[in-house]
């Protein structure tokens, strides 16, 4: 497993993100057979290559959503009231979702890239980057967005592109 080089990653994104997003749109418009089975294999491969502890770009550049259960669990873990936690760290967006205020996230240890509330972290963080969430097409807007932040998502799309020639249209 190679450490993530964020500088090189950002250079690749600048050059290829547009083409990768167009590719994802083509996949959704004409999904190949065995798409999700292929993605399950790709997911395994991606995590053999990408080391999140050398990256933490999602914790630095994105803002997770906190469900009500997340707020209850995490505030209790920190010995705070739910209201005090919300007031200190979150804001309500236009869809009435509680979103983290800070970037990088206040729970990220900048020296180790570790999450200081890992055991109780928000479910959004625990399932990020949602590579095997089904159906794939429902997560397309997130994958399209996450290409620019997440080297694992980027690698997933790269690998899918490499393999698509061997997949048959449905």
Chain contacts with ligand SF4 (rule: CB under 6 A): 50, 52, 55-59, 64, 105, 107-108, 115, 117, 121-122, 125, 128-129, 149-152
Shortest Å, Cβ 55 to ligand SF4 = 3
Which residues in 106-122 are b (16+ Cβ under 10 Å) and which e? ebbeeeebebebeeebb
Q: Which is nearer to ligand SF4, 26 or 141 (CB)?
A: 141
Between 151-164 and 35-49, two packed helices, what is the crossing angle to 10 degrees? 130
Half-sphere exposure of 5 (CA within 13 A, CB side): 5
For ligand SF4, the closer CB: 7 or 30: 7
Q: Which is nearer to ligand SF4, 35 or 122 (CB)?
A: 122
11 Cβ contact partners less than 8 Å away, ≥ 6 residues apart: none
In whole angstroms, the minimum distance from the beta carbon of 30 to ligand SF4 comes to: 27
Q: How far is the CB of 77 from ligand SF4 (least distance, A)?
A: 11
């Amino acid at each position: 497993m190679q450490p993530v080089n964020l500088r090189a990653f950002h250079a690749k994104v600048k050059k290829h993100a547009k083409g990768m997003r167009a590719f994802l749109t083509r996949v959704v418009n004409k999904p190949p057979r065995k798409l999700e089975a292929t993605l399950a294999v790709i997911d395994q491969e991606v995590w053999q290559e990408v080391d999140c502890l050398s990256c933490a770009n999602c914790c630095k550049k994105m803002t997770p959503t906190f469900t009500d259960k997340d707020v209850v669990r995490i505030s209790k873990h920190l010995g705070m009231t739910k209201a005090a936690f919300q007031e200190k760290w979150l804001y309500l967006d236009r869809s009435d979702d509680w979103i983290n205020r800070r970037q990088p996230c206040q729970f990220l240890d900048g020296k180790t890239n570790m999450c200081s509330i890992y055991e109780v972290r928000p479910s959004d963080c625990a399932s990020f980057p949602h590579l095997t969430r089904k159906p794939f097409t429902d997560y397309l807007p997130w994958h399209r967005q996450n290409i620019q932040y997440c080297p694992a998502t980027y690698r997933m799309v790269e690998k899918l592109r490499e393999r698509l020639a061997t997949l048959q249209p449905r």
